[in-house]
Structure 1
Amino acid sequence: MEIGFIISSILLVAFAILATYDGLYLHLMKYRLPNYRQSKTEHITHTLRAILFPAILYFVFISSSPEYFYFGLLLVFIDIITVGIDAYSEENSRLWMGGLPRWEYILHLFVNGFHFATISVFLVLKIRLEAGSVVIVNGFEEVASYSAFSWLVINLIPGAIIVALLHLLLNFQKPRNSWNGLLDRFIKKPHSAKTMVKSR
């Protein structure tokens, strides 16, 4: 069980780093996907996943209530469906930039791989089959590596909520204008104004 939580912690850290680079820097800062009508569906799926992530962190990894845990599993299922919609939309979503770069496609594979691998390893530790019934394990306090894992999860939640709120706000024109103005001071626009198609 010790090694399970260590592996989960490593996977979660890898996911957090890559997801921040991909979801925050590439999508919202470098490419500014919310500015493009073609990318609207992709940004909506990103927004939904950004909202789901802190909820999954709490309900799946932290909550000790079986009912909350099952609700967390429902959120994971919704997240999986959203990933499929996101992947399906990316071909049309990135036409304005000549298609999704191959290296970013590979990055998406790693991001989602680390994300769902973290959940999978944790589920192996959390769920047991005993005498033909499903038992939800609580109280990992005796496992030394669990304290480090739970500390990591708890400290990721505030940042994840901030990123979710940013994604949500950028679905609206006025916050997008303010965000673009802020970015223009520090980051060069990815394309000329002639190629930009604003969201409605």
Structure 2
Amino acid sequence: MGFLILTILLLAFALLAVIDGFYLHIFKYQLFNHKESKFEHLTHTIRAILFPLIVYFLFITQNCPTSFYLGVLFVVTDIVVLGTDAYLEKDSRIFMGGLPRWEYILHLFVNGFHFASIAVFFAIKLTFTENGIEVIQTLSHLKNFGLFQFIALNLLPGAIILALLHIYTSINITKEYWNNLRSKITCC
């Protein structure tokens, strides 16, 4: 049951992250083009890079303690970057009159699903014994693990593309190319 819940949370996060991270931040508001939101775009870029690393090292790679601990390190880094982003977000959206309330709510759901999926994974992966906390190395015997692995593996390419797009819009030369492409789209 845990992997089914984890799969649903991960899919909900991925869907909302595309709406928030791509459509709103890159496509609609073009945060990378505004002086006030350059640092916010940097924090989003770092988080966009961290997500596929978390998926790979925490969720996909099994039977390797080093991968698990790397995944945990990426999660902790993600939390620090998220805190920094949230603290500075109010100032970075001055150009648009502040962060819209509905986008703030979207951020709550996106991050809620993201960290809930990680918490559920930890609940499955860790067990408490009389000797302390034990990391369960192999989870493949558990129900719905195959579905979860399939979804996680298939989210990776899109997550990597979104991370590369964040990097792409951070570099002046490629940002201008994106701006030229974006200017040709008159809807949305």
TM range (shorter): over 0.9
Distance (Å, rounded) in 1 between the aligned partners of 2:104 and 2:112 = 12
1:46-85 to 2 correspondences below 5 Å: 46-64=44-62, 65-85=64-84
Q: Over residues 26-45 of structure 1, what are the superposed CA-to-partner deviations in whole Å (9 max), with x where a residue is unaligned?
A: 00000011000100110000
Q: What are the ranges of 5 or more consecutive residues in structure 1 without an aligned counterpart?
A: 190-200
- Equivalent residues of 2:3, 2:148 under 8 A apart: yes
3-state SS in 2 of match to 1:26: helix
What percent identity do the matched residue pairs reach?
Answer: 50
Distance (Å, rounded) in 2 between the aligned partners of 1:135 and 1:84 = 29
Distance (Å, rounded) in 1 between the aligned partners of 2:4 and 2:108 = 22
The Cα shift of 1:183 comes to 1.1
The Cα shift of 1:141 comes to 2.1
Greater Cα radius of gyration, structure 1 or 2: 1
The residue aligned with 1:90 is: 89
Among 23, 35, 49, the alignment partner of 2:33 is: 35
Q: Over residues 16-71 of structure 1, what are the superposed CA-to-partner deviations in whole Å (9 max), with x where a residue is unaligned?
A: 00000000000000001100010011000000000000000011111121111011
Normalising by structure 2, what TM-score? Answer: 0.96
- Equivalent residues of 2:10, 2:117 under 8 A apart: yes
Distance (Å, rounded) in 2 between the aligned partners of 1:81 and 1:72 = 14
- Equivalent residues of 1:34, 1:43 under 8 A apart: yes
The Cα shift of 1:91 comes to 0.8
User: Mean alpha-carbon deviation: is it higher for 157-166 or for 94-103?
Assistant: 157-166
Distance (Å, rounded) in 2 between the aligned partners of 1:6 and 1:173 = 42
Among 19, 37, 40, the alignment partner of 1:21 is: 19
Normalising by structure 1, what TM-score? Answer: 0.90
Distance (Å, rounded) in 2 between the aligned partners of 1:9 and 1:122 = 10
Q: CA RMSD of the aligned region, Å?
A: 1.2
User: How many residues are matched?
Assistant: 187
Q: Which runs of 4+ in 1 moved over 4 A?
A: none
Distance (Å, rounded) in 2 between the aligned partners of 1:81 and 1:144 = 33
The Cα shift of 1:89 comes to 1.1
The residue aligned with 1:198 is: none
Distance (Å, rounded) in 1 between the aligned partners of 2:82 and 2:185 = 31
